[in-house]
Amino acid sequence: MPNRRCRADNSRGSSPEVRYVLYTGRVMSCLFCKIIDGSIPSTALFEDDICYAFADIHPQAPVHVLVVPREHIPSMADCNQDDTQLMGHLLWAATQIAQLRNLDGGYRVVVNTGEDGGQTVEHLHLHLLGGRLLTWPPG
Ligand code: 5GP
Ligand code: ZN
């Protein structure tokens, strides 16, 4: 899968990292890319050809699932108009997981973006939180 977001293309020529990104759409040094390719174990909850969803390692609610695109996109701020279908798909996947986990009383979807948004892993992801009463506003 060619990856148009590989900004290292020009600066790093045909390094193994760049070739890997261009070939797979993943980044070798990225934690969530490693989870997607199975080199770091995770508890799978949903997957299809576009996304992979797995349990958060530090759950903040009885249900805390991360939904990630298989393609490496650093954050929501890196999405553009070409990504509207992908972004919609990730939200749809969250609704499917919510149904599977019986979150009939409601749930919350969060996309931390950038430093001020509290994003710690630079691979776009949705948090699906539920199974308890969630307070507002967040911190
Ligand atoms: P962020 O802070 O970027 O919005 O969310 C990153 C999330 O990834 C955090 O909730 C954190 O607990 C989770 N996380 C970090 N490392 C791992 C890991 O190795 N495995 C899993 N399953 N979740 C992780
Ligand atoms: Zn990644």
Q: Taking Cα atoms as reference points, which of 119, 103, 102, 17 lies closest to residue 68?
A: 119
Q: Which of 37, 46, 52, 58 to mutate to test the pocket of ligand 1 (most atoms within 8 A of CB)?
A: 58
Output the average pLDDT for the chain. 90
Give the number of the ligand closest to the Cα of residue 30.
Answer: 2
For 90, counting Cβ atoms within 10 Å of its Cβ (0-12 exposed, 13-18 middle, 19+ buried), the class is buried
pLDDT value of position 2? 44
Is 125 a catalytic site residue?
yes
- CB 66 within 8 Å of CB 56: yes
Which position has the higher pLDDT, 105 or 28? 105
Please tell me the pTM assigned to this model. 0.89
For residue 24, the tally of other CB atoms under 10 A from its CB is: 17
* C-alpha 3: how far from chain center: 16
Give the number of the ligand closest to the Cα of residue 64.
Answer: 1
Asked whether the predicted pLDDT for residue 13 surpasses 60, the reply is no
Whether 112 lines ligand 1, by a CB cut-off of 6 Å, is yes
The CA 3 to ligand 2 mean position distance, Å, reads 11
Task: State in words which class domain 39-130 has.
Answer: alpha beta
- What pLDDT band is residue 123 in, cutting at 50, 70 and 90? very high
Query: What single-letter amino acid sits at 4?
Result: R
Whether 62 lines ligand 1, by a CB cut-off of 6 Å, is no
**Which atom, in ligand 1's list, is nearest to the CA of 117?**
4
